Amino acid sequence: MITIAPPVSSPEIRFHGGDVSTPAGFWMHGTAADLGDHGREDVMLLVSSQPAVFSGLFTTNAVRAASVVVTEAVHRRGISTAGIVNSQNANALTGPPGLADATAMQTLTAEALAVGPQTVAVASTGVIGVPLPMDKVSRGIGELAARYRQGQPADGMAGARAILTTDTGIKRLAATISLSTGQVEIGMVVKGSGMINPNLATMLAFFATDAVVAKPALDRMLRRAVDRSFHRVSVDGDQSTNDMVLIWANGAAGVAVSTAEDLKVFEAALTAIARHGARLIAADGEGASHLISVVVRGAASEADAALKARAVARSALVKAAVYGRDPNWGRVLAAAGAVGEGWDPDRASLSLNGWDLYVRGQPVKADETGWSQAMERPEVEWVLDLAAGGDSAEAWGCDLTEGYVHINAHYRT
């Protein structure tokens, strides 16, 4: 997986290694239930020591996995004490038996933890259209719940491994946030490598915080953070059936996020962590050798800038050019011109990793060697200035390689 630097810390927000088991009162672990032939953990359990305010965003695909149906109901109630996740099997397009299996995962977890079933979130990821091996899933739930009841230490790395499918590495980050009345922690773990395209969530992402946050505020902050992060990443243009972003706020730190300034700082931290998660997903796109970053400036609105940035990031032609280290910049302008508000290409400018390619409507004399060498970097950044307004946005994707075709040609077989 391409190495991506974490966000830069500030006096109010210090980013560090961690995950959803980092905040006070959260426990996460993973176990190998033999759901596939990968030989690693494939069932994850997250537990809050006290009921947590709960919020989520879910796929808008008409084809929705059973876990999405179950967990949307938990989100509407707004309180959760645990989350149970399996990889290797999406439990999607499995009909009424699949919904019964997702509900059984919820019930088995609740009984093992002595909590209400309606407070247990469920997530699944993996192959579509295959029944869950519930005997194995049940055994995994039992093992994890027993570890929790016995007071075994959390193992965030094992939990993070358990949610992976074609991912090549763990994706996580945490931050310590200084608010007006004290410090709180927020942690994240995500998975995603293929079948990634914006429409609310686009993968599995889990956040936890020990701050006291009211549900309306948590809902608003999560949606805005997702709009500026996971909603702007595309690996292959295909939206999944199981996508969800979930956040638990258990209040164990005893510090409330309530003032306008505290809400601003907390949302900034949540957004920055989510942005890092989105970049990790793009960098780990199936078969990828480059992270593609697209910045659109000078747009008529942020929404239009985001629309254009996403169009460039998901363009198969741009992806192929980046893989071939071919600075074919016309493809970038063409992709941006195909969507959203109109703009004048005679006023626009485009750069590639700091090299000017097109300035105020005029092509720059080509330096093919220099431009190609610039594309050797793990991250290829296109910056497009439309000169049509004052707003900007960014999006992320990855190059298109033979590796992507190989992985998806043999995903089931």
- Please state, in angstroms and rounded to a whole number, the distance separating the CA atoms of residues 394 and 233: 9
Q: Exactly one of 71, 166, 202, 401 is catalytic; which is it?
A: 202
Torsion of CA 99, 102, 108, 114, to 10 degrees: -100
Helix, strand, or coil here: 81? strand
∠ CA 290-278-341 to the nearest 5 degrees? Answer: 90
Residue 152 CA to residue 195 CA, distance in Å, equals 35
The answer for residues whose C-beta is within 8 angstroms of residue 248's C-beta and 6 or more apart is 20, 26, 46, 48, 52, 53, 54, 80, 83, 207, 208, 209
Distances (CA, A) of 132 to 6, 17, 59, 98, 110: 36, 33, 20, 7, 19
The amino acid that residue 326 corresponds to is: D
Count Cα atoms within 13 angstroms, Cβ side, for 226.
Answer: 28
Backbone angles phi, psi at 100, to 5 degrees: -65, -35
Known active-site residue 401: no
Known catalytic residues are: 202
